[in-house]
Amino acid sequence: MNDSGKIPVDFATAQLLSECGEVLIRVVRSKFGCRTVLRNIGIAGRPESDRKVAMTQEKRYSIKLSGLEISVWKDDLTTHQVDAVVNAANEDLHHGAGLAGALVRVGGKDIQRWSDEIIKNHGKMDNVTLHIKQGNIELEKVDVIVNTVSPGLRLSEGAISKAILKKAGHRIQSEINRHYGTEFGDVIETQGYDLDCSYVYHTVCAPKTVVNSAKILLSVLSKCLDKAARSKHTSISFPAIGTGNLDFSKQEVAKIMMRAVSDFAEKYQGKKMDVSFVLYPSEANTLKAFEKEMHSLEDATISSPNKGSYENNGATNEAVACIELYSNSTENRREATRWIYSILLLMRESYTITNNHIQHFGLREHEELLSLQTMWKVSIGEFLRDGSAGVIITGPREGVKGAVLAVEALCCQAQEEFARAEENAMLHTLVRWRCVDIPELEEPENSGALERAYLAGSNTETLKLNGSEIEVNLKKLEAKILSGMSYRIERSVFKDYSLKFQRTVINPQSTDQKDRLHSFSGLNIIKIEKVQNPLLEYHFKLKQKQVSDRPKCLYQRVPAQFCDLVCRVGFQRFYSPPQDQKYGAGIYFSHSVDTARKQAEHLCQEEEYIYIFEAQVLTGKATVGSPDLIVPPALGRDPFSLYDSVKGDTDTRVIFNSHQALPIYLITCK
């Protein structure tokens, strides 16, 4: 379920957000994974007296075509003397900013009221159009046709797949054969060949007898839509996936497919996309099931006027400025709300940001800090103490707010770059892109960028190497430099892998969780999530062979904004350093939940929840630590033979290599 919340803002904050609202949106998404919508910021953020000086209208160009005069003017559209003006509106017909906002301010609130009535009576102006029709999927003339295939990837099995194979030709089977090692939930892209489409997305769905088969089907449909959107396709056709050999009922398939398109349409902001459900002509009952589900969807849309806008006691909407937050996690949304209140709605003349990624700031970031001081008329001072880095921003209240948002954006960018570098290094042991004539292509950063683009289904990716741009065609496996020369490249896969991680909520009251509940006595467990990351697991197992040790179950508390990053790239010393690093500058874990909670308390004082990871940790050979350590001390006289970890009191263990720890569970509590 998509949880949402509204935060009303005052006039001064609305003015601030009219300048840096996009920064807030990016930061909240990066820190908390929430989608942010700013409502009526343009209206509330601009006083009535803030009018532009009247512009003198000036005709620049005019031509007559068949009695129709077409002219180009330099003028203010809100005062231009014509019978009608054309406005570029959003899908909600919510005229909050830009030209739309200006037209409402001059034309009056009736424009917004009438627009609200249109949405109420006709639903939202989506840029996704759903078509339900009868026909043969293999005859569709679209950008993408969706197929369903078994894990064995044999296109000769199944009626739909067989029809696509017959029309496309044998080359489509040859291409899909290269994608070995598939599993339920995968989506494989091939060319369309003799079909009237550019690409075919082959979905590997689970039969109904498999656990979570409905979730897998929904996930596969969502992946296809997201993939088409990323590739900037504007039309995609689906068969009724699941009504054949997968044994789903027609009603189940209709409900799941409708939900997938509805969820996609809510978040899609690209070009207009046509989505078609193509049902076999003889399947009249399937058509009825889809039509019934479509009517239900239409009723739900029409009975929910102004979806996502600010409502005023159920009456006609007023132009009330507010911030709306949307998230699948109540905890994430509440943390984001708390953070926004602490920055934008509390009147402070000084604010401290603690984030160890500031240590990665380079010349560009420091020049940006200097620029922010001038822009917002504030003072920005950096600090590094007790193992923590940060900045202190002081100045006028509104200036502090703007500078805080900008510095937080710099921190988010730095931590994303750090995480990408970690991912690239891990990927480099599993897959590499190579070119004999361009050896730089094989470097972790460049190879990783190409691999991500390849996994995302992109056709091309542009890299900047040694100051020059190189365009890489991921389908043809060739790289083209500025002079026009082309070179062959190759993708070498050393081991099958997945770049995806999962956080799966499990029942805290289940039998296998009793011991865990005992470890957390004194805390109220809100949620337990199982963490699975194949990339981290692979490197952890490699490290286990080197350390030759059985892993220990240890705990670490992490600030809310770093929970996803731990699941993605593992534990890092930047994420949760204790206030007193008396055993070295490493990654700290504890045998007890209570010690873990206290070690990171200084980083999480303003958070509503407590986030504790349970991890498998390879401590191996250990010795007593000391504050000056940045790596474990030597075992003996050989400086290259080191201890695996260090320890302090009976409860604390410190490692210096992130691959020695694997996150297993994330426990959210209070």
- Transcribe 622-644 into DSSP letters: EEE--TT-SSPPBSSS-TT-B-S
Give first-to-last CA distance, the chain, whole Å.
Answer: 22
Pull the structure tokens for residue 449. 């960028």
pLDDT of residue 522: 86
Going by C-beta distance under 8 Å and a sequence separation of 6 or more, which residues neighbour residue 385? none
Separation of CA 53 from chain center: 43
**What's residue 47's pLDDT?**
46
231 burial (CB, 10 Å; 0-12 / 13-18 / 19+) is middle
Q: 91: which residues sit within 8 A by CB, 6+ positions away?
A: 124, 125, 126, 127
- CA proximity to 241, closest of 232, 252, 233: 252
Integer angstrom CA distances of residue 47 from 107, 318, 376: 16, 16, 21
Report pLDDT for 436. Answer: 92
pLDDT of residue 202: 96
What is the model's pLDDT at position 105? Answer: 64
pLDDT of residue 293: 83
Q: What is the pLDDT of residue 128?
A: 85
Closest CA to 452 of 428, 418, 481: 428
Looking at residue 122, its pLDDT comes to 43
Q: Which two tokens stand for residue 102?
A: 């200006």
Give the up-direction half-sphere exposure of residue 663: CA atoms within 13 A in the CB hemisphere. Answer: 35
Provide Rg for the chain, Cα atoms: 28
Q: Which pLDDT score is estimated for 114?
A: 63
Q: How many CB atoms lie within 10 A of CB 315?
A: 7
Measured CA to CA, the distance from residue 207 to residue 212 in angstroms comes to: 10
Burial of 207 (0-12, 13-18, 19+ CB in 10 A): middle
Whether residue 617 contacts residue 628, with contact meaning beta carbons closer than 8 Å, is answered with no
Sort strands 431-434 and 490-493 into parallel, antiparallel or unpaired.
antiparallel
Name residue 489's amino acid.
Answer: I
The ranges of the chain with pLDDT < 50 are: 1-2, 43, 45-55, 120-125, 299-318
Residues 128 and 137: their CA atoms lie apart, in Å, by: 20
pLDDT confidence of residue 196: 95
If one counts every other C-beta atom within 10 angstroms of the C-beta of residue 272, the result is 11
